[in-house]
Amino acid sequence: MIISHCELESLLGVHNSQPHGLLGMHPYVENGKVCTIVVRAFLQDARRCFAVDSVANEKFQLEQIDGSGFFEGIIKTRTKVFKYKLLKESYGGELLELDDPYSFLPTIGERERDLFAWGRNIHIYEQLGANFREIDGVAGFSFGVWAPNAKAVSVVGDFNSWDGRYHQMRLLGNSGIWELFIPALKNFDSYKFQILNARGDITLKSDPYASHFEGAPNNASKLFNVSGYDWQDGEWLASRATTDWQKSAISAYELHMDSWRRVVADNNRPLTYRELANELAKYLSQMGFTHVELMPPTEHPFLGSWGYQVTGFFSPTHRYGTPHDFMYLVDTLHRHNIGVIIDWVPAHFPRDSFALEDFDGTKLYEHDDPRIGCHRDWGTLIFNYGRHEVRNFLLSSAVSWAERFHVDGIRVDAVASMLYLDYSREAGEWLPNRYGGKENIEAIEFLRELNHTFQENFPGFITIAEESTAFGGITHGIEHHGLGFDFKWNMGWMHDVLLYFSKDPIFRKYHHNQLTFAMLYQHSEHFICALSHDEVVHGKCSLIYKMPGNSLSEKMGHLRCLYAYMWFWPGKKTLFMGQEFGQTGEWNYHQSLDWHLLQYEEHSGVQRLVGDLNGMYRTHAFLHETDSTCYGFEWACCDDCENSVISFMRFGQDSGEKCIIICNLTPIERENYRLGVPLGGYWKEVLNTDSAHYAGQNRGNCGHVHADNCPMHRWEFSLNLRLPPLTTLVLMPERVNGGQISL
C-alpha cells in the first residue's frame, strides 16, 4: 500500500480538501524519479476493480485495501499516465466500465474564479451548481459550490447512496470554490452537498445554483440538463430588443400560477406549465394584456409564502413541471406576442436549514450582526450586499432568468427594505452606514450594478422596482446618480386612489385631493399604476368589496369607474388576476379563481370593460407614448370637489390626437354639466362605463355631443354633458385639422 494511513483516513473520514491529489491516476515518485504509476478509486459494491488502458485495452487489477470500496493499484510497467477507464466487477459478477471522476481537469478556470471573486462573473451559474457537460467525449455533470470556510465538501445523492466518501470535491486555490465532474449521471437524480463546515459539523445543503428541485420535506436539488430546449421565439426577442418600453404599451396581468385555474376533476390540482401556457396565452390575447407578471416562479418550500421566500434562485419551482416545461410556457407566450415579467426577490431569504443560512458554518450569504442581517417582520435573513460573491450570486440569478429562460423583465420585490438600514426597526435596533446615515450603501450599489448590467447586455429587458418610499431617483439614470430602474410601481397613487374609492360618495368631496395629488409627483419617476395581490389579501377584501354601495350593481359601477380612470391615467398598468372580472372573494392561494362568476352579467361586463380598456390603450399611441413624460396630460377640471367630478385631457405630442376623460364619482346623475374643451365640433363618446355592454344602465350622451362656442375652463369651447352616476366617460373629437380620426 503506497497511500499513507493518514491520507487514507482523510479520505475515509471525508476531511480532505484535495482528493484529486490522491484519487485517480498519478505518477509515483521515489528518490526524485518517476518509477511507476498508481491508481486509486472509491467504488460502491465492487468485488474487484481494474484500470483499463483505453487505447491498448490492457487491464491492471487494483487491490481493495478497505471494505468501503477503496482500491489502490500499482502499475509497475508504466511510468507515464495514460487515458483509462475503471472496470468494476460487482459481487454478483456483473462487469461495468466507468469513467473515473478523478481523471478530469477542473471545469472552472482561473479567470472565471477571479471574476467571481470580484463580483463580475454574470455567468457564474454556468460554472457553479450542476451543469451538464461533455468532456473528451464523456458526458456528465460538473458540480461547483462556493463554501470558502468548509473543511471538506462531497456531492451526495441517489447515485452514491448519499455516502460522502464516494464523490469528494476539490478546493480550487483560494477561491473558496469546490469542484468535481461526475460522468454518466442522469436527469432527475437527486443530490445535495455534504459539507464539513467551519465548526466541524457535517451538514447537507441543497445547491444554491440548482436548476431543479424536489419538493418538501427532503428539498433535494435535482440534476437537469437545461440546455437543448428548441426555442421558437426569435422574432419576439428581436422585436423586444428594438422596443422603447417607455413609449410602448405595458398592461401586465399579475398571476399566481398555483391558483389561477385548477383541474377540479383531478384532485383540484394546479395547471402544469404546459397546460398553463396554452390557456393563459389564449386568455391574455383575448383580454388584450401585453405582459404577464408571474409572482415568483423561483423554487420555494412553503406555498404559503407565494414564492417570496426563495430557496432556489436559479430554478423554476418543481410544482408545475421541469425547467423545459417553464421554457415552453415562456416560449408559447412570446409566440402570442405576450411578454413575461417575473417577481424576483433579492431582498431576503428564509432560514430553512437546508438552504443558504449558515451555509458553510459561517454567515456566508447573510450578515453576522442581526441588526443588519435579519428582517424582523418576515423572519428572514438579509443578503450581505457588501460581499462580492454574494452580489455575484444575485446578479447571476437575474441574468440566468433572462438568458436561460428568456423572460422579458423582473419586478424587484421589497426594494424599500433594501435601501434603508432602519427599515421596520426602532431606534437602537439598526446600525448606521459608514457615513452615519440610514441608507444601505452596498444594496444601492448592487441595484445600480444590476440595472447597468441589463442595460448593457439585454436591450429591451425591463426592470421594475416595488418601492414604497420617497427615495429619489429610482428610475433615473445611473449617470445621474439614480438607481437605473425602468419603472417603479406607483404605490402612492394606489394608496390614495383605493382610499378615495373606499369612501362613501357623500364624503368624497372632502377627499378630492387624493385623486389630484398624484399629479404633483407623477413625472418624478417612470411609474406603473398597479393594483396588485397585496391589496386583496389579509383581510383587505377584494377590490369589488372595497367599493361602497348597498348592491353589487352599485359596487360594480364604482369598480368600472375606477378601472377606466386607472387606464387613462398616465403610467403603465398592472392588475392582479381575478380583479379583471370583479372577483368578490378575497384571493385564496389554495384555490382557483372564481371563474364561475362570469355567468353573471355584472362580472362579465367588467371583464369586457378591461378588455376594451386594454384595446384602447394599445391602439391609441398617445395613451402610452407619453406615459413617462410631462407631455400628454392636462387637467380639464381638477377642482370640482363639490360634485366629486374630475376631468383631464390625454393627447399626443405630435399626432394631434386627444381625448377627454370625465369621472362622475357619486351615484347622482348630473345633467347639463358644462366642461371646457380645446376644439369645437362633435366629440364622440368612445367609452362609457355605464354602457349596457358593461352591465351598466346605458345612460350617457347618445354616442356624441357637440362642443358649443361657449368659453369655459380657459378654452373657447365647451360640452354640455350628461354624466351618468358612478361613470367614467371618454370623448374624442371627431375631426382634427379637417381630418377624420380613426376610432
The CA distances from residue 347 to 93, 383, 449, 583, in Å, are 55, 7, 15, 31
Across-strand partners of 719? 675, 707
Shared domain for 140 and 208, answered yes or no, is: yes
Q: By C-alpha distance, which of 527, 322, 485, 347 is closest to 404? A: 322
Q: What is the pLDDT of residues 443-468, one digit of tens each?
A: 999 999 999 999 999 999 999 999 99
Shared domain for 178 and 95, answered yes or no, is: no
pLDDT class of 410 with cuts at 50, 70, 90: very high
Shared domain for 93 and 185, answered yes or no, is: no
Per the CB < 8 A criterion, the answer to whether 153 and 196 are in contact is yes
Residue 227 domain-assigned (yes or no): no
Shared domain for 50 and 130, answered yes or no, is: no
The CA distances from residue 701 to 182, 496, 526, 558, in Å, are 75, 30, 35, 19
Per the CB < 8 A criterion, the answer to whether 659 and 732 are in contact is yes
For every residue of 261-324, which 3-state class applies, written as one string? CEECCCCCEECCHHHHHHHHHHHHHHHCCCEEEECCCEECCCHHHCCCCCCEEEEECHHHCCHH
Q: What's 679's domain CATH number?
A: 2.60.40.1180
Shared domain for 91 and 133, answered yes or no, is: no
Shared domain for 87 and 156, answered yes or no, is: no
Extract the C-alpha cell encoding 504: 362613501
Residue 181 domain-assigned (yes or no): yes
Our answer to whether residue 642 is catalytic in this structure is no
- The model carries a pTM of 0.95
Phi, psi of 342, deg, nearest 5: -120, 145
Residue 510 domain-assigned (yes or no): no
Q: By C-alpha distance, which of 343, 481, 360 is closest to 415? A: 343
pLDDT class of 685 with cuts at 50, 70, 90: very high
Calculate the dihedral angle through the C-alpha atoms of 580, 581, 586, 590, rounding to the nearest 10 degrees.
-90
Residue 117 domain-assigned (yes or no): yes
The CA distances from residue 420 to 425, 445, 561, in Å, are 10, 13, 37
Residue 537 domain-assigned (yes or no): no
Q: What's 40's domain CATH number?
A: 2.60.40.10
Shared domain for 636 and 695, answered yes or no, is: yes
Looking at 413, 467, 580, 640, which residue is catalytic?
413
Containing structural domain, residue 644: 629-740
Shared domain for 124 and 218, answered yes or no, is: yes
One-letter amino acid identity for 280? L
Q: What angle do CA 505, 509, 512 make, to 5 degrees?
A: 110
Is pLDDT at 731 greater than 60 in this prediction? Answer: yes
Q: What is the pLDDT of residues 582-623, one digit of tens each?
A: 999 999 999 999 999 999 999 999 999 999 999 999 999 999
Extract the C-alpha cell encoding 650: 390625454
* Residue that terminates a domain, selected from 222, 243, 272: 222
Spatial strand order of the sheet with 33-42 comes to: 24-30, 33-42, 70-75, 59-66, 46-53, 84-90, 95-98
* Secondary structure class of 381 (helix, strand, coil): strand
Shared domain for 157 and 59, answered yes or no, is: no
* Residue that terminates a domain, selected from 103, 134, 161: 103
Our answer to whether residue 466 is catalytic in this structure is yes
Structural Rg of the chain based on CA atoms: 31
* Residue that terminates a domain, selected from 84, 103, 122: 103
Shared domain for 41 and 142, answered yes or no, is: no
CA atoms of 444 and 368, how far apart (whole Å): 20
- The pLDDT assigned to 591 comes to 95
Number of domains forming the structure of the chain: 3
Shared domain for 184 and 87, answered yes or no, is: no
Average pLDDT over residues 717-721: 96
Residue 338 domain-assigned (yes or no): no
Residue 199 domain-assigned (yes or no): yes
Q: What is the pLDDT of residues 493-503, one digit of tens each?
A: 999 999 999 99
Residue 676 domain-assigned (yes or no): yes
Extract the C-alpha cell encoding 586: 378575497
User: What integer best gives the mean pLDDT of the chain?
Assistant: 95
Looking at 299, 466, 496, 580, which residue is catalytic?
466
- The pLDDT assigned to 743 comes to 37
**CA 57 to chain CA mean position, Å:** 52
Shared domain for 67 and 119, answered yes or no, is: no
Q: 621: exposed, middle or buried (C-beta count within 10 Å: 0-12, 13-18, 19+)? A: middle
